């Protein structure tokens, strides 16, 4: 999804740029990269699907992980006062105060509290998250959740009462900070949420103590809508991108918050539905309603441009204050609750069309906006679907080894260590670094301990087997050595004084960026050698199990084999809870490339020609090979020798469609095995004189297929 250009925003950026120039502050951003940053986000994605896409985007673009101590220097650009470059703007109040290396009672405020699963690395050292804050105000807030406080006390900043309020279980920032705070919480809850090892969650309650949850979700959604993105936020977003590589999506796209969390409960649905606001400069009723009509067209024209299969919420209040009521031409397919904006969608077995009419009302003015909507039918293809050729195999498997020995002191930054490029960030940029001939590269010292991290993306596409680190610590030193792949820990070791090899095994076969982290709490730590064993020349193993085929043979017969285990895994049911006689297998063919655009109308069910009557009588051939195996097959015959068909295999159970990644497509081989098995059973029974033609029907059919 490409971010729309906003002329007003560009004008504001231009004006802000002149202020920066006057203040001699230099912020460089790759504008092309920023403009195309959201290209991978699906236009109508919502819920956990959208959150997962944004999480993947963070993992790809968050290149540099700042340290907690390094935030001090980051604030010089992320939170600088554009009118006074010697000052920073403080969290919650926007007060401008002299920076002076974080003196003047300024500290680093965890907007998502340190005690709620954050710590001082990862989310606890993220430049998009932590803000400079007045020490007394930080203390007043503590680790309280966010909510609107009715009975509480006013907080103080440096001894001066502010508009921030403190309750027994919640903290309410003043209005100018509410939207900013909400969008920071949304960023942390997405980047370090359920998809990550931190598992931070946003909930719709307060008083959540010291767990990994923060609230209150419905209030934060309300603040996000009521208090638009300000210029300070946009500046922070640009500056933090320069430092880390990633952006805060909720600053660029505040609407993402309701798309992800808006359907959490009735409170969040109401907050998102009633999130309109009156403009700062009131317009006359006609201008207001025209502005709202233009806004709602921009919001929904793009969404309704393609068939929709998921929609949970729709606007009932205009951005500029209009009331919106919706009418559906077919409420049985798409119904809207005009009190809450909740959408009920009932897709049928084929694409259906609905006319949606939005009636906007503001004072005495009324206007209608009409949308033509296509409801996508129930047959859906998983997002991971790929069309494969029948005989696509993996490349030659090669066992590769990467090894590098440290022979000198290393600076922070991008390092070419042997054949691999690493990013090296020290935990404390002021700490001592050096080199010891016996122990290797040294990080930290007795007076100033400090570790660091080495991160590489060069091996993210390979299957890493083991990682061996030769490490040590100084006498009485203490270091936690942790290896992570795609931010998932392979374990933590505590090196000894003498250099030793510490083995980390990738038992879960995780793929992604490799991180080697030294978390030093005493004295110095050393790294002498890195050794990584991995496999190269291997395609993604999942490619070999997707249920899709390519057929090009004038006499090809094709079938599908499913084991009981694979059916149970796909249905997520116990085997004894499944009625296997109800499994209906289907094969769909596609005449052109429309499948990649999810155009199901062009899909054809392949029928056998000369075996058509037989298939009508017995479309499924059931071969009970053993107690744990259940094979079913469908015959395809007389495929045009001049055409190549892409096909997808699926099965139906209790009127639902499933795509199993464990479907095998070796029908011919299956037919051979079953022919031999039935022939053997027949021969044994003939020898014993008790054969009553029990297997003739199966043998005749299998023989005709094989011949």
If you average pLDDT over residues 3-32, what whole number do you get? 33
Sort 27 into a burial class: Cβ within 10 Å, 0-12 / 13-18 / 19+.
middle
Give residue 395's pLDDT: 44
Query: Per DSSP, what are the bridge partners of residue 411?
Result: none
pLDDT at 596 over 70: no
Give the integer Cα–Cα distance in Å for 220 and 147.
8
- Which tokens belong to 496? 């000894």
Burial class (CB in 10 A: 0-12, 13-18, 19+), 419: exposed
Task: List the structure tokens of 667.
Answer: 């029908």
3-state secondary structure 128-160: CCCEEEEHHHHHHHCCCEECCCCCCEEEEECCE
Residue 371 has a CB neighbour count (10 Å cut-off) of 17
Average pLDDT over residues 430-444: 88
pLDDT at 277: 46
Judge whether residue 59 has pLDDT over 80.
yes
Tens-place pLDDT, residues 604-648: 333 323 223 333 333 333 333 344 444 444 443 333 434 444 445
Q: What pLDDT does 707 receive?
A: 60
pLDDT digits (tens, 9 = 90+) for 96-151: 999 887 777 899 999 999 889 888 889 999 999 999 999 889 989 999 999 999 88
State pLDDT tens for residues 238-297: 899 989 999 999 998 898 999 999 988 888 988 887 665 444 444 578 888 888 888 788
Mean pLDDT, residues 353-370 taken together: 92
Has residue 53 got a pLDDT over 50?
Answer: yes
pLDDT at 670 over 70: no
Alpha-carbon distance of 42 to 52, in angstroms, equals 11
The secondary structure element, H or E, covering residue 373 is strand 365-375
pLDDT at 20 over 60: no
pLDDT above 60 (res 30): no
Cα 682 from chain centroid (whole Å) = 56
Instruction: Indicate the average pLDDT of the chain.
Output: 76
Residue 655 has pLDDT above 70, yes or no: yes
Whole-model pTM: value is: 0.44
Token output for 523: 């004295």
Percent of the chain whose pLDDT exceeds 70: 73
pLDDT of residue 598: 33
**Is 8 a residue whose pLDDT tops 50?**
no
Q: Distances from the Cα of 156 to the Cαs of 137, 150, 625, in angstroms?
A: 6, 17, 76
Per-residue pLDDT averaged across 548-553, rounded?
A: 35
3 state DSSP class of 365: strand
Q: Does the pLDDT of residue 94 top 90, yes or no?
A: yes
CA distances from 597 to 226, 292, 368, 592, 602 (A): 37, 32, 31, 11, 11
Distance from C-alpha of 172 to C-alpha of 181, rounded to nearest angstrom: 10
Burial class of residue 184, CB neighbours in 10 A (0-12, 13-18, 19+): buried
Percent of the chain past pLDDT 90, that is, above it, reads 35
Report yes or no: 628 and 565 within 8 Å, Cβ to Cβ: yes
Judge contact between 478 and 520, C-beta under 8 A. Answer: yes
671: pLDDT confidence band, cut at 50, 70 and 90? low
Per residue in 202-228, pLDDT (tens digit) is 999 999 888 899 999 999 999 999 888
């Amino acid at each position: 999804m490409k971010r729309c250009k906003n002329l007003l925003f560009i004008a504001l950026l231009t004006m802000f740029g002149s202020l920066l120039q006057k203040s001699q502050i230099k912020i460089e951003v790759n504008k092309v990269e920023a403009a195309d940053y959201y290209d991978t986000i699906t236009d109508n994605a919502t819920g956990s699907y959208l959150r997962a896409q944004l999480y993947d985007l963070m993992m790809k673009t968050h290149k540099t992980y700042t340290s907690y101590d390094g935030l001090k220097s980051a604030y010089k650009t992320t939170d600088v006062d554009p009118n006074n470059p010697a000052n920073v703007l403080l969290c919650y109040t926007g007060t401008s105060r002299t920076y002076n290396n974080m003196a003047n009672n300024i500290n680093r405020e965890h907007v998502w509290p340190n005690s709620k699963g954050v710590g001082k690395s990862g989310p606890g050292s993220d430049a998009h998250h932590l803000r400079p804050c007045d020490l007394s105000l930080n203390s007043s807030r503590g680790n309280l959740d966010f909510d609107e406080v009715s009975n509480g006390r006013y907080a103080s900043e440096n001894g001066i009462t502010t508009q921030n309020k403190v309750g027994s279980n919640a903290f309410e920032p003043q209005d100018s900070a509410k939207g900013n705070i909400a969008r920071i919480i949304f960023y942390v809850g997405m980047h370090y949420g359920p998809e990550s090892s931190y598992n931070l969650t946003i909930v719709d309650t307060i008083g959540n103590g010291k767990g990994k949850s923060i609230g209150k979700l419905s209030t934060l959604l309300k603040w996000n809508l009521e208090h638009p993105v300000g210029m300070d936020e946009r500046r922070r977003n640009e500056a933090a991108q320069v430092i880390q590589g990633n952006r805060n999506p909720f600053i660029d796209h505040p609407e993402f918050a309701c798309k992800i969390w808006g359907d959490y409960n009735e409170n969040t649905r109401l907050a998102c539905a009633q999130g309109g606001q009156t403009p700062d400069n009131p317009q006359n009723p006609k201008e207001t309603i025209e502005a709202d009509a233009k806004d709602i067209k921009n919001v929904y024209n793009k969404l309704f441009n393609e068939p929709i299969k998921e929609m949970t919420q729709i606007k009932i209040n205009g951005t500029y204050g209009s009331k919106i009521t919706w009418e559906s031409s077919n409420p049985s397919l798409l119904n809207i609750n005009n009190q809450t904006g909740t959408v009920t969608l009932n897709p049928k077995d084929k694409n259906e069309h609905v006319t949606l009419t939005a009636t906007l009302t503001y004072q005495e003015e009324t206007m209608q906006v009409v949308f033509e909507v296509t409801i996508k039918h129930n047959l859906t293809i998983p997002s991971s679907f790929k069309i494969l050729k029948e005989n696509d195999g993996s490349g030659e498997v090669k066992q590769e080894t990467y090894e590098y020995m440290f022979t000198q002191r290393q600076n922070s930054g991008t390092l070419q260590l042997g054949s691999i490029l690493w990013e090296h960030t020290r935990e404390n940029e002021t700490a001592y670094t050096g080199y010891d001939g016996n122990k290797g590269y040294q990080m930290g010292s007795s007076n100033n301990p400090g570790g660091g991290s080495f991160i590489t993306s060069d091996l993210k596409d390979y299957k890493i087997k083991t990682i061996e680190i030769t490490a040590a610590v100084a006498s009485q030193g203490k270091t936690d050595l942790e290896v992570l792949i795609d931010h998932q820990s392979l374990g933590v070791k505590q090196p000894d004084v003498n250099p030793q090899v510490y083995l980390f095994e990738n038992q879960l076969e995780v793929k992604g960026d490799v991180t080697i982290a030294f978390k030093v709490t005493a004295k110095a730590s050393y790294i002498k050698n890195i050794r990584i064993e991995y496999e190269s020349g291997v395609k993604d193993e999942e490619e070999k199990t997707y249920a899709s085929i390519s057929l090009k043979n004038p006499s090809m017969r094709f079938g599908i084999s499913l084991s009981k285990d694979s059916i149970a895994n796909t249905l997520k049911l116990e085997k004894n809870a499944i009625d296997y006689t109800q499994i209906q297998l289907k094969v769909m063919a596609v005449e052109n490339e429309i499948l990649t655009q999810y155009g199901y109308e062009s899909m054809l069910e392949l029928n056998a020609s000369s075996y058509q009557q037989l298939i009508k009588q017995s479309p499924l051939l059931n071969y009970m090979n053993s107690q744990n195996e259940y094979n079913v097959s469908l015959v395809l015959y007389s495929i045009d020798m001049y055409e190549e068909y892409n096909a997808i295999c699926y099965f139906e159970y209790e009127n639902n469609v499933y795509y199993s990644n464990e479907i095998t497509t070796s029908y011919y081989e299956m037919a051979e095995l079953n022919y031999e098995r039935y022939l053997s059973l027949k021969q044994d029974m003939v020898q014993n004189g008790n054969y009553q033609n029990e297997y003739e029907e199966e043998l005749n059919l299998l023989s005709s297929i094989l011949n």
